[in-house]
Amino acid sequence: MRKLFLAIWILSAAVVLTTSNAYAYDVEGDLNTIKTRLYELAMSQKSNNHDIEDLLKNFDEKTGLFTDIDYKDQTASQWQPGYHWRRLTRLAVEYQDPRSPNWHSDKVKSCVIKAIRTWVAQPPIANNGWWNLIGVPTEMARIFVLMENEIGPELVRSSIPLLNYAVKPDYYDYHGPATGENLLWETFNHIATCVLTKDVEGIKRAVNASAGAIAITEKEGIQPDYSFYQHGIQSYAFGYGKAFSLTAAQILYAVSGTSFDMPREKVGILSNYILEGQQWCSYHKLLEYTAMGREISRPDDKTGSIVRAMELMRKVDASRQGEYDDYIAQLEGRPRKKLLEGSRYFDRIKLLVHQGGDYFFSVKNAAYPIIYTESGNKENLKGLYLGDGTQFLARRGDEYDRIFPIWNWRRLPGSIIEQGSGSLKPARDWGKGNEGPKTFAYGLTDGDAGFFSIQATRDGISANRSWFCIGGKIIHMSSDLSFEKGHDVWQTVNQAFQRTDVYVNNSRMETDSLSGPVKSVWQDSTGYYFPGKSNVVVLAKRQSGSWYEINQAYSRETISEDVFTLAENLGKSGGGRASCYIICPNVSSDEDLSRKCADIEVVSNTADLHCVHDRKTDTFYLAAFGSDVRFRIPGSGKKITLSGPSLYIVKKQHIIKKLP
C-alpha cells in the first residue's frame, strides 16, 4: 500500500512538473515573440534626420556626451538632452542593419554604451515632465531591445529606474494617473522593460492597462463618434490621437497571438477609430487641422505615424485590409481604389466633414464645454481663433500644407473677426479656459449631404451661421449679424496658397488686391459666388513669417509665399444684416457661377430660419433659430412649424430627419 501511494505521488509530481514546464515554455516562447516584434518595431525607427558620421564626429568618448547638444537646455517641446537618446536610437538601428556600412561597428557600439553609462550615472532632468516620464524611456526601451546583448544585463538593470520612471505601484504616472495616449506611451515602455527582465506579471499589468485605454469613452481617448480627446474636451485626432493610433497598433501587434493577447473587441475599436474617424477627416495628405491642437505649429511630418499604424493593423485585422490599403495609398499620395463620398458629423467635437470625391470640406465651431484649441510649451502662439467657425476646402490636399507661419491668423478661413491688433495667443495654456460659448451648435446629415449650424457669439460679435454641403457645392449663410467695433470686421471665405491667377467676374485680376460688390471669384479650380450685395475683398499677395512666430522651438528664418485671401468686409458695425456665398469646387475660370448654382435655391436667410432647397432631389435643409417658425414648403400647400433652435431635412414634403 505504501509503495502504491509512493508510485502515485511520483506520477502526480511528474504530471505537475510536466505541466509547469509546458507553461513555462509557452510563456518563454511568448516573451521571445514579443521581444522579436519589439525589435522589428524599433528597427523601423530608422531616420535620415541624422548623418551617422556627423553623430560620431560630435560624440566625445571621454564624457559620453554629444558636443553639439546643450545638456543644460530646458526648452519644453524640443528639449535638447532628449535628442541624446534619439541619436542613440539612430545609432542602434544603424548598428543592427546588415545593409549599413556601420553594421556591428565597434565604434558605434562603444559610443552607444558609453553614452548610456554617462546618462545613467547622472541623468539630466527636464522641466517638462513628458521627457522624463515618456520621451527618454521610449528611446531607452528601443535601444535596449536592439542592443540587449551588447549592452549587457548589468547596465540594463541599472537603467530600470529610469525606464520605469512612470510606473507607480497602483497607476501609471503623468502628473497623476495617466490617460489617453500618455497612458499608452507609458504602458508600451513598461511592456518592453518587462520583456527585457522577464517580468510576466508586469506585462500582464501593462497589457491590461493598455486594453483599458483602447476603449470607447467620454473622457480622454476615443469618443463614441470616433473623434478623440486629449488634454480635456478638445479635438486631438491628429495630434495626440495619431500617436495613439500608432502606439495602440504597436501594442496590439506585439502581443497578438500570445498568452498576453487582448480581447478581439480592442482591435475593432482601433480599426473603427482609424477608418471611421481619422480617415473621414482627411483628404489626400491633408489632415483636418483643427484636430492638431498646438501641433499645428510644428513643421514635422503629419501622416507617417498613421501609415505605420495601418501597416501593423493589416497584420492583426485581416478583415479590413482593403480599407487600410486605400487609406495608406491616399496618405502616400497614390490613387485610392474607392473614393470616400458623403457627409459625416462629429458631435463630440462639433465638426462637419464632407468628402466630395474630388474635393474635401470641413467646418468646426466649438461650443461649451468643447475647447477651441490649446497652446502650451510656447507652441500655437497665434491660434486664438482656431476652431471658431474654421473651414477648410481642398482639391489637391496641399492648399494649406505648411502655410501656418505666413497665415494672417486674424483671417482664418470661415472666421468672423475684427481686424485689429490685439494678441492672437489663446488666453490660457493647455486649453482650459478656452471653451466655446454655451450656444446651439449642431450638424445633421442624410449620408450624402450634410449641414452645420451655430449661434455664434464671441468678442462682441454675434450671428446665426450655417454651412450646407449639397449637390457638389458649399453654401454658407450668416444672418442677424450684430457688432459695434473700432476696426472693420471680416468674414473670411478662404486663405490658402495662391496656385494660379485670380479671376474676378470671369476676368483676370491685374492687381494684387481689390474690393467692392463682386459677384464671382475664381482661383485654383474653385469658384466663389456671391448672390447678394457683398463688399468682397480679394487679395493675391506675398506674405511672410517664420515658424518661430507660432512656435518658439523652431527657426526664425523668414518664409515668403504667394497667398490668396477672399473675404467679405462687414464694416465696423452690423445691425441684424445677412450675407451668403456659395463655393463651387472643380470649375473653370470662365464658368458662369450663377448658372452653375441654379440647382440650389436659397429659400431663406433670416434671423429665424436658414433654408436651402436642392432642386435635383427636391430636398430642403432647414436650420430654425426662432422658437416658433412657420415654413411653407414652396410649390406645395404644406406648412410645417419648426421649433428652434433645431435642424430639419425635408424630402418630397416629408420630414426625414430632425435634430434635436
Q: Label each residue of 437-479 as H, E or C.
A: CCCCEEEEECCCCEEEEEEEEECCEEEEEEEEEECCEEEEEEE
Residue 189 lies in a domain: no
**Exposure string (b/e) for 306-334, b if CB count within 10 Å is 16 or more?**
bbbbbbbbbebbeebeebbbbbbebbeee
Q: Which of 3-7, 109-113, 452-456, 608-612 has the lowest mean pLDDT?
A: 3-7
pLDDT of residue 10: 36
Confidence band, pLDDT 50/70/90 cuts, at residue 431: confident
3-state secondary structure of 330: helix
Contact between 271 and 382 under an 8 Å Cβ cutoff? The reply is no
pLDDT above 90 as % of the chain: 90
CATH assignment of the domain containing 56: 1.50.10.100
pLDDT higher than 50, residue 61: yes
pLDDT higher than 70, residue 440: yes
CATH assignment of the domain containing 392: 2.70.98.10
Work out the mean pLDDT of the chain and round it to a whole number: 94
How much is the average pLDDT of 298-317? 96
pLDDT of residue 233: 97
Query: Distance between CA 509 and CA 218 in Å, rounded?
Result: 50
pLDDT of residue 19: 34
Domain boundary among 571, 590, 609: 590
pLDDT higher than 80, residue 63: yes
pTM for the model: 0.94
Contact between 438 and 366 under an 8 Å Cβ cutoff? The reply is no
pLDDT of residue 636: 76
The residues near 650 (Cβ < 8 Å, ≥ 6 apart) are 619, 620, 622, 633, 640, 656
Confidence band, pLDDT 50/70/90 cuts, at residue 46: low
Contact between 297 and 426 under an 8 Å Cβ cutoff? The reply is no
pLDDT of residue 13: 38
- Residue 188 φ/ψ, nearest 5 degrees: -65, -45
Task: Quote the domain boundaries for residue 48.
Answer: 21-165
Residue 262 lies in a domain: no
Confidence band, pLDDT 50/70/90 cuts, at residue 387: very high
The residues near 335 (Cβ < 8 Å, ≥ 6 apart) are 329
pLDDT of residue 5: 39
pLDDT of residue 49: 59
Domain boundary among 568, 590, 612: 590
Q: Which of 44-58, 60-74, 516-530 has the lowest mean pLDDT?
A: 44-58
Residue 50 lies in a domain: yes
Selected residue with higher pLDDT from 575 and 162: 162
**203-250 per-position pLDDT tens digit:** 999 999 999 999 999 999 999 999 999 999 999 999 999 999 999 999
Residue 174 lies in a domain: no
Residue 278 lies in a domain: no
Query: Distance between CA 336 and CA 190 in Å, rounded?
Result: 38
Confidence band, pLDDT 50/70/90 cuts, at residue 26: confident
Q: Which 8-state DSSP code applies to residue 262?
A: P
Confidence band, pLDDT 50/70/90 cuts, at residue 3: very low
pLDDT higher than 50, residue 567: yes
How much is the average pLDDT of 496-509? 98
Domain tally for the chain? Answer: 2
How much is the average pLDDT of 17-33? 65
pLDDT of residue 644: 85
Residue 265 lies in a domain: no
Cis bond leading into 161, ω under 30°? no
Cis bond leading into 660, ω under 30°? yes
Domain boundary among 547, 574, 590: 590
Confidence band, pLDDT 50/70/90 cuts, at residue 323: very high
pLDDT of residue 576: 86
Residue 187 lies in a domain: no
Confidence band, pLDDT 50/70/90 cuts, at residue 48: low
Residue 41 lies in a domain: yes
How much is the average pLDDT of 49-55? 84
**Exposure string (b/e) for 642-660, b if CB count within 10 Å is 16 or more?**
bebbbbbbbeeeeeeeebe
Q: Which of 24-28, 161-165, 343-347, 492-496 has the lowest mean pLDDT?
A: 24-28
The closest alpha carbon to 400, from 384, 388, 414, belongs to 414
**601-643 per-position pLDDT tens digit:** 999 999 999 999 999 999 999 999 998 899 998 877 788 899 8
Query: Distance between CA 53 and CA 100 in Å, rounded?
Result: 12
Amino acid at 294: R
pLDDT higher than 60, residue 571: yes
